[in-house]
Chain A
């Protein structure tokens, strides 16, 4: 089944404790992206990747890191999480940047 998977789905952590949210797609998509969703603000792009080893900042990259060592995986790293990073995170992938995006199920992160 074609899909985007994210893990974990739910995470409660404390300020400053490094964490990684994994994202994997099995559709051989070139383009992958991370979004955060907050009430009333819609989806805001954190980072995106046009292909392996090619990543770029989105609108809200501060406090996040990403890597794209393999085509299928695009992990999101929070080196020192803070409470303002409490949010719902979505990973998405697509064949290229301007076409239909497929979203993962989301990761709800709470930083206390």
Chain B
């Protein structure tokens, strides 16, 4: 039931782009994205609702493919501040009010 995130880790140079995927085997109602820096609490980035809407947050955007039950997080022209672990959380169509989290993708940005 846990969504699968890929890749598990990625190392980039500052200015490069990255894509993080979150896939579910079950029908999704929404996908939530959070970023957690080392030693800190997760911080909300965005929510994507069923309907395939693409959202953006500065140079970080995301899409939701309903047919594939997959969401992708796009980080363009990455900055050092983007380093951290990115988690997706999924609400299922038959959810009992639980957000189910992926295992996370660790992103390391080097100068």
The one of B34, B47, B98 that contacts A99, using a Cβ cutoff of 8 Å: B47
Q: Assuming A42-B103, A56-B96, is B41 touching A103 (CB within 8 A)?
A: yes
Chain-B contact segment, one of A18-26, A43-51, A65-73 = A43-51
A77 to B35 alpha-carbon distance, docked (Å): 28
Q: Is the CB of A45 within 8 A of B41?
A: no
Q: Is the CB of A42 within 8 A of B98?
A: no
Q: Is B87 an interface position by the 8 A CB rule?
A: yes
The one of A42, A48, A50, A100 that contacts B101, using a Cβ cutoff of 8 Å: A42
Residues of B within 8 A of A99 (CB): 47
Q: Report the contact-size class of chain B (Cβ under 8 Å from the partner).
A: 20 to 34
Residues of A within 8 A of B64 (CB): none
A-B CB pair tally, cutoff 8 Å: 57
Residues of B within 8 A of A87 (CB): none
Q: Is A106 an interface position by the 8 A CB rule?
A: yes
Residues of A within 8 A of B102 (CB): 42
Q: Is the CB of A106 within 8 A of B41?
A: yes
Q: Is B42 an interface position by the 8 A CB rule?
A: yes
Q: Is A75 an interface position by the 8 A CB rule?
A: no
Q: Is A81 an interface position by the 8 A CB rule?
A: no
Q: Is the CB of A45 within 8 A of B98?
A: yes
B12 to chain A, nearest CB (A): 21
Q: Is the CB of A42 within 8 A of B2?
A: yes
A43 to B103 alpha-carbon distance, docked (Å): 7
Q: Which residues of B contact A (CB under 8 A)?
A: 2, 29-30, 32, 34, 40-44, 47, 87, 89, 91, 96-104
Can you give 22 contacting A-B residue pairs, CB < 8 Å?
A33-B99, A41-B103, A43-B42, A43-B89, A45-B98, A48-B98, A50-B97, A59-B98, A97-B91, A97-B98, A97-B99, A98-B91, A99-B47, A101-B32, A101-B34, A101-B42, A101-B99, A103-B43, A104-B41, A105-B40, A105-B41, A106-B41
